[in-house]
Amino acid sequence: MHERTTDTLYRLSRTVGRYVNHDDVLTRFASLWVIVATLFTIAWVGSYSLLPQGLLRGANPGATGRYAGSVTREFLSLFAWNVGVSLIAVGANTFRSVNTPLGYVLQVIQAPRYGVVWGTGSLAIGGGTRVTPSLSVVGERSGPMELTAIIAIVVATGGVMIWHQTSGPRWKEPCDRVRSPRDWSLTRREWILLVGGYALLALANYREALDIASVAG
């Protein structure tokens, strides 16, 4: 039974890896988006039912900042913050373990935390009210747009590798420098996804700035 479970998990991980590291950038984007969205949803629903309200409010940078005083300044503040976050993720892509860029792993790790932020009402706006799990809520908030934008940016820059870990175990084997930033290049479709990701991020942050202004302004 144990061997069968191990074999199933191994085959599943290989299948997931094949799609998130696919040659086609849109396949990579869709695959990583599905994984992130699934983990986010599980954490959202679970934390809504099981965890204390406001649990991560003190640990959520966006929940502690003051209103900038105008929609424009609030938007610029939010956008600058999220661009910085995206650049950290792009920087993580300079490390690759076997076939997977580290930036992908960061998105998988961040998704449950953000789901808990929603489920426990630890958002910047909303007065600490939990976000009730619902499809209609997803379309009303900027968070899913931000997540989608960051995923697009990370996937588009998945090839900006410098250090490579050729085999596992991932916590033990060293990373070797195999490339230089001079070797980086993006395909036309990757450029389109990258620009589209930042455009979507700007739109999400402007929408969030309007929401914050309506509450704090």
- Structural domain including 190 reads 2-216
Q: In this structure, which amino acid lies at residue 139?
A: G
In angstroms, the CA 72 to CA 133 distance is: 30
Element spanning 97, H or E: strand 95-97
pTM: 0.89
Long-range contacts of 123-128 (CB under 8 A, 24+ apart): 123/60, 123/62, 123/63, 124/60, 124/62, 124/63, 124/64, 124/65, 124/212, 125/211, 125/212, 125/215, 125/216, 126/215, 128/53, 128/54, 128/57
Q: What is the pLDDT of residues 42-74, one digit of tens each?
A: 999 999 999 998 887 766 555 445 677 889 999
Q: Contact at 8 Å (CB) between 158 and 103?
A: yes
Q: What is the pLDDT of residues 92-129, one digit of tens each?
A: 999 998 889 999 999 999 999 999 999 998 876 666 68
Give the mean pLDDT of 182-205. Answer: 96
Alpha carbon 154 to chain centroid distance? 8
DSSP state of 141: S
Domain total in the chain: 1
HSE-CB for 47 with a 13 A CA cutoff: 26
Element spanning 95, H or E: strand 95-97
pLDDT at 209 over 60: yes
Alpha carbon 201 to chain centroid distance? 12
Range of lowest pLDDT (84-93, 119-128, 158-167, 196-205): 119-128
In angstroms, the CA 74 to CA 171 distance is: 40
Q: Would you state the structure tokens that stand for residue 215, as one six-digit string?
A: 């509450």
